[in-house]
A = this chain, B = another copy of it.
Amino acid sequence: MKPSSDTWIVTASCPSRLGTVDVVTRFMAESANYINEIHSFDDRVLDQFFLRIEFTPEDENFSPEQFNQHFARRAKPFEMTWQLYPVTKKDRVAILVSKFDHCLNDLLFRYRTGQLNIEVPVIISNHPDLESLAKWHNIPYYHLPITPETKREQEEQILQLIEQYQVDLVVLARYMQVLSPEMCAALNGRAINIHHSLLPGFKGARPYHQAWEKGVKMVGATAHYVNNDLDEGPIITQGIQPVDHAHYPEDLISKGQDVERITLFNAVRYHVERRVFLSGNRTVVFSN
């Protein structure tokens, strides 16, 4: 459901115990916030509670500051953390690319047609190739070449741009560089990568070639958060594509593009719509 402009989202999480839903919904009723949709999940293994609510304030002068201030008192006994977002707020998303443009083209298409409720303040690449695509969308494009010697320096430049452009989320849209541990740490939890295999299968380089060697009948893509361990970050979503014996590695690369871009789009959408929660190294995703 496309929420209307006066819709807000509140997400919350805390240890599982009696009353976790009630403490939120009671507050919503008392403060005259109309719940459009509520979804919760209790992780029985970790004893952790997750909640997502879309609501419309009945008060036209709804104040998020007052919401947060008043709700803090209710949340405290539950050790509940929560976050409040207006759906009108667009996350500022930086896109990192190399030479492949299928993911970039797809994200930009959905950005300019409004399918993705985001801003794209900056595109960064280690190659100059995709500048004209950025330009046509009136988005600043930074070409930051990289060599083994300049890797840390280049990554510092990226981090500076991320700060300068007040970026909320970094999307690695087939950015073909292995991030340094420092860079991973700096982006932890606020960067999404697309890997062109069904992780944990075919980690590392040239996954489609690995897949062909094994003679698999399905290839896939995995969108995951970046964390310290390459290709091991929490998985947000995955997609697949059936293939057969007639597909050589170069065909898998071509066939896989549609899965990669749709999988990455879904992950970004789930993230900016506040549908994703971290639960250890796994994710809770209230998809729709």
Contact = CB atoms under 8 A, between A and B. Distances in A.
Interface stretch (A150-158, A168-176, A183-191, A195-203): A195-203
Interface stretch (A33-41, A64-72, A88-96, A120-128): A33-41
A115 to B, nearest CB: 6
Contacts of A2: 248, 250-251, 254
A277 to B, nearest CB: 8
A282 interface: yes
Given A18-B29, A29-B22, A109-B105, A244 B201 contact: no
A28 interface: yes
A198 B218 contact: yes
Interface stretch (A139-147, A159-167, A234-242): A234-242
A23 B236 CA distance: 34
A19 interface: yes
Nearest to A262: B258
Contacts of A251: 1-2
Contact of A235 (B30, B202, B214): B214
A216 B199 contact: yes
Given A2-B251, A21-B35, A35-B20, A200 B214 contact: yes
A220 B257 CA distance: 21
Interface string A236-272: 1110100011111011001001100010000000000
A235 to B, nearest CB: 5
The count of identical subunits is 4
Interface centre among A43, A45, A109, A236 (most CB of B within 10 A): A109
A217 interface: yes
A180 interface: no
A234 B248 contact: no
Contacts of A45: 248
B38 A38 contact: yes
Contact of A28 (B21, B35, B240, B248): B21
Nearest to A246: B1
B283 A245 contact: yes
Interface string A34-64: 1111111111110000000000001000000
A144 to B, nearest CB: 24
B245 A217 contact: no
A135 B22 CA distance: 50
A215 interface: yes
Interface centre among A25, A105, A250, A282 (most CB of B within 10 A): A25
B237 A240 contact: no
Contacts of A281: 215
Contact of A18 (B32, B37, B102): B32
A1 B217 contact: no
